[in-house]
Structure formats: C-alpha cells, structure tokens
A and B are shown apart, each in its own frame.
Chain A
Amino acid sequence: AQKVTQAQTEISVVEKEDVTLDCVYETRDTTYYLFWYKQPPSGELVFLIRRNSFDEQNEISGRYSWNFQKSTSSFNFTITASQVVDSAVYFCALSEAGIQGAQKLVFGQGTRLTINP
C-alpha cells in the first residue's frame, strides 16, 4: 500500500533560519510522482512542486529546495532564510496509479511550520 510519513508534526523556528521538512514514502510502483503542497490558514492547498520517480535531480526555486533520494525513499523540502509568510501546514504527497488514469494523491499528515519574527 502507498504511504507517506511526515514525522515532524510541528516545527517552530525564528525568521531567517533554514528549515528542512522531512518526507518518507512507501510504494510498490516503479513509476510515481511526488508532490509538496502548502496549506495556509485560508485552507487552499497550494501546489509547490511535482517530481517524477525517474528524475532524482534536486531542484531549487528561490528560497525553496527539494532533495529526492530514491535509495532512502525520501523527498525532503528545505526553506532557506525562512520568512513569517512561510508559516503554514506543508503536505508531502505521492500519486497513486488509480484505475482509468486517476491521479489519486496519498498525503502525509502534514508538518505545521511556524516562523517567528
């Protein structure tokens, strides 16, 4: 069965610190996609990144970076020089190959990140 584990329930740091959110996944599929979403207090899930299982290159987007390691089934997310606006709940997700081409997402429990001024 597909499973995503985000062991860190809550993280609190001071502004400008770097912070890494951990994500470990389990799947039997050889082809899959991994995602990170941000959920601010408004409730909407905001897409951050999608990575397919064949692309292990790390990615950097501004202050955000992602480290995908297939050998350890991890897809960690680092925010550099954190800002108060980064405060939110962050979800890691794995796409499950559903029938008829469905892109079913299996989410972790989320990590609540609080950036203190």
Chain B
Amino acid sequence: DTGVSQNPRHKITKRGQNVTFRCDPISEHNRLYWYRQTLGQGPEFLTYFQNEAQLEKSRLLSDRFSAERPKGSFSTLEIQRTEQGDSAMYLCASSFGRTTEAFFGQGTRLTVV
C-alpha cells in the first residue's frame, strides 16, 4: 500500500475560478477526513466521510465548498469561486474505524492569486 495519495500537489488559480482536489485513501480505510492548514497553524477539520456518506461538516466549510466520496473510495473537494482566503494546504486523511490513527496524505497546496 502506498499510503494516502493527493493530487495535485500544488495548484495556483485566479480568484473566482473553481478548483477540485482528489484524495485516494488507503484502500481498506472506510473513514476519510479533509483538513485545511494555513501557514504557521495546525490543521483544522473540514469534513468527514464514513464510506460514501458525508457525516459531518465544519462551520469552516462554506457553501462554496463541496466534498464527495462516490462509492466510498476516492474523495474530491471542490472550491467554487475561490477567494484569496482559501489559500492553504488541504490535507486528506484516512483511517479504519474510530479508534485507530489517521494517516495523512502530503496535501494539496492551493494558492489563489
């Protein structure tokens, strides 16, 4: 197993454009999480999937953000009408069950210009 994979690693976009990120979790992991990390800060929880169901969303996830996990496998995070404040590292993590540790991907660094 190659671990959690995220694509792209870097994305530069103009303000107002839409962007989509992809996360491929570890294959047997049924839980998938998205976090956002801004410079000099710790990651902050955005949303959580158990299999294909999105069960929890943070208040940080405005209506411009949408996440999906079709068929309980990979997940996508889309940001519509990007703003400069969306510039951050977007991290995906997966785990099997609630009490096991989450494994993180290398993240997608978004820069909105």
Contacts and interface: CB of A to CB of B under 8 A. Distances in A.
Interface of A: 4, 33, 35, 37, 42-47, 50, 52, 91, 93, 96, 98-110
26 contacts: A4-B42, A43-B89, A44-B104, A44-B105, A45-B91, A46-B104, A47-B104, A52-B99, A91-B43, A93-B42, A96-B45, A99-B55, A99-B56, A100-B48, A103-B33, A103-B95, A103-B99, A104-B33, A104-B56, A105-B33, A105-B102, A106-B45, A107-B44, A109-B41, A110-B41, A110-B42
A100 B91 contact: no
Size category of the binding interface on chain B: 20 to 34
Interface of B: 31, 33, 35, 40-45, 48, 50, 55-56, 89, 91, 93, 95, 98-99, 101-107, 109
Contacts of A109: 40-42
* Interface majority SS (helix, strand, loop, mixed), chain B: strand
Candidate in B43, B95, B107 with the most chain A CB atoms within 10 angstroms: B43
Contacts of B44: 107
B42 A43 contact: no
Contacts, number: 72
Contacts of A107: 42-44
Contacts of A50: 101
Nearest to B42: A107
Given A43-B106, A46-B104, 12 more contacts: A35-B101, A44-B106, A45-B93, A45-B104, A47-B102, A47-B103, A100-B50, A102-B31, A102-B56, A103-B98, A104-B33, A107-B43
Contact of B109 (A33, A35, A43, A110): A43
Contacts of A35: 101
Given A43-B89, A43-B107, A44-B106, A100 B42 contact: no
A46 B31 CA distance: 18
B90 to A, nearest CB: 11
Contacts of B31: 102-103
A103 B97 CA distance: 9
Contacts of A103: 31, 33, 95, 98-99, 102
Please give me the 9 A-B residue pairs with the lowest Cβ-Cβ distance, nearest first.
Answer: A107-B42, A45-B104, A100-B55, A44-B106, A102-B48, A101-B98, A104-B45, A43-B107, A47-B101
